[in-house]
Amino acid sequence: MLENGQVFTGRAYGAVGETLGEAVFCTAMTGYQETLTDPSYHRQIVVATAPQIGNTGWNTEDGESTGSAGSDADSGDSGKIWVAGYAVRNPTRRVSSWRATTSLEDELVRQGIVGISGIDTRTVVRILRDHGSMRAGVFSGAALPGGETGGRVSDAAVDELVGRVRDQPSMSGADLAGEVTTAEGYVVEPTTEHRYTVAAVDLGIKTNTPRMFAERGVRVHVLPASAGFDAIRDIAPDGVFLSNGPGDPATADAVVGLTREVLGADIPLFGICFGNQIFGRALGRSTYKMKFGHRGINIPVIDHATGAVSITAQNHGFALEGEAGEEFDTDFGRARVSHVCANDGTVEGVELLSGRGFSVQYHPEAAAGPHDAAYLFDKFVTVLDGDRAHGTRA
């Protein structure tokens, strides 16, 4: 059920019941486990554009969240599913991956995720593409008047369900980072010789991000989104990282303030996705809600400095204002828009010309996706190398 009153009738998929959220579509042809466990999808009903979903099942290794925050749902070792609901065309009837420990539908049931299958997802995607992401709901079983007995849903029941969909809050103005962040800080140790320490502010961090740092000799202190500058100062990190996450960046004033303190203390900073928007706001830029956002693993991004194009994984419905190559003054020196999307010109990165801070809108840590942007972790380590070489930090 979409908020414009359009109804799509299919079969229950996953848990039976009712769920509400913002309907968005993801164009990725693979990697649904990463999508479903990405905290950035919190409070969103994901419509898969790939026609068949579930053929690789579900395993205990590819989840991108710990499941430790915002909910008491037991996600086990496979990662908490953060999406509000899942809509697919043709769920596979057989799991074919040797890595699978269960089927996708069984995991959806276990974690209580309400979904729907057998609908024309192409039509849904066209609606969202043409009219923008909108509030939606999935209803099955007793949550669907007449549906639990297989009977026709009356017009009155449809009106009631549309009302429930429209009564839910919009994603604009939603402050969600606090609902997905870790309840307590934790440390991820480097897998090679320890070189540096980074404080990572968890706004909805994916598990592969600390892993990418660890592979480069970086110890990562993951901090809750509510952490203040004192918590960072106590760690005495060589750098600070701002993670991905859900919600409207215009609501994240506290984290923006923290970022400004970090920049004022001249600590190198790196941000991705939601972190890019937070960094941009700290530099004085504004944000806006996109019509339907970027969600997929094949999105081309242009580096303004070199002209190089990277194919990237993305998941965002908000973006920074700006144009390619635009330079502007900030309280921390000159900055510029460093990257833009080749498809629509959306800002995909900003940086201080001093090199003390940079961020990108896409996901260099993507596991199920392209690795074109993985070099950004090396770029950040190079900044830390420079500090050590110049004696800025021990």
For residues 220 and 187, the answer to whether their CB atoms sit within 8 Å is yes
**Of 64-73, 97-106, 358-367, 368-377, where does mean pLDDT reach its minimum?**
64-73
For domain 11-167, give the fold: Glucose Oxidase; domain 1 (3.50.30)
Annotated binding residue at 274?
Answer: yes
Looking at the whole model, is its pTM more than 0.85?
Answer: yes
What DSSP element (H or E) covers 45?
strand 44-48
Residue of higher predicted confidence among 26 and 368: 26
Annotated binding residue at 140?
Answer: no
**Of 10-19, 142-151, 250-259, 342-351, where does mean pLDDT reach its minimum?**
142-151
Annotated binding residue at 52?
Answer: no
3-state secondary structure of 178: helix
- Nearest-angstrom CA–CA distance, 80 and 176: 16
Calculate the dihedral angle through the C-alpha atoms of 206, 210, 215, 218, rounding to the nearest 10 degrees: 160
Percent of all residues in the chain with a pLDDT value above 70, rounded to a whole number: 94
pLDDT class of 94 with cuts at 50, 70, 90: very high
Q: Is pLDDT of 390 > 90?
A: no
What DSSP element (H or E) covers 117?
strand 114-117
Annotated binding residue at 40?
Answer: yes
Question: Identical fold at 11-167 and 177-389?
Answer: no
For residues 312 and 363, the answer to whether their CB atoms sit within 8 Å is yes
Annotated binding residue at 277?
Answer: yes
Percent of all residues in the chain with a pLDDT value above 90, rounded to a whole number: 88
For tokens 């990108």, the residue is: 360
Active-site entry in 3, 179, 273, 348:
273
| Confidence (pLDDT) at 244 | 97
289-304 average pLDDT score: 96
For tokens 């099942």, the residue is: 57
The 10s digit of each residue's pLDDT in 160-176 is 999 999 999 999 999 99
Query: Residue 307 is encoded by which pair of tokens?
Result: 């002209």
Q: Is pLDDT of 71 > 50?
A: no
Which amino acid is residue 356, in one-letter code? R
Annotated binding residue at 358?
Answer: no
Q: What are phi and psi of 165, to 5 degrees?
A: -60, -45
Active-site entry in 3, 64, 351, 365:
365
Residue 221 annotated as catalytic: no
Domain 177-389: CATH superfamily is Class I glutamine amidotransferase (GATase) domain (3.40.50.880)
What is the DSSP annotation of 239-304? EEEE----S-GGG-HHHHHHHHHHHHTT--EEEETHHHHHHHHHTT--EEEEEEEEEEEEEEEEET
Active-site entry in 42, 304, 316, 363:
363
- Nearest-angstrom CA–CA distance, 87 and 279: 33
Query: Residue 102 is encoded by which pair of tokens?
Result: 């269960």
Residue 390 annotated as catalytic: no
Structure letter (DSSP) for residue 189: -
**Of the candidates 271, 351, 381, which has an alpha carbon nearest to the alpha carbon of residue 316?**
271
**Of the candidates 314, 337, 168, 178, which has an alpha carbon nearest to the alpha carbon of residue 248?**
178
Angle at the Cα of 226 from the Cα atoms of 221 and 231, rounded to 5 degrees: 45
For residues 144 and 11, the answer to whether their CB atoms sit within 8 Å is no
260-281 average pLDDT score: 98
Residue 273 annotated as catalytic: yes
| Confidence (pLDDT) at 253 | 98
In the chain, where are the structural domains located?
11-167, 177-389
Annotated binding residue at 317?
Answer: yes
For tokens 């919009």, the residue is: 170
Report the chain's mean pLDDT, rounded to a whole number: 93
The 10s digit of each residue's pLDDT in 32-50 is 999 999 999 999 999 999 9
**Three-state SS sequence of 146-168:** CHHHCCCCCHHHHHHHHHHHHHC
Q: Buried (b) or exposed (e) across 363-387, using 16+ Cβ within 10 A?
A: bbbbbbbbebbeebbeebbebbeeb
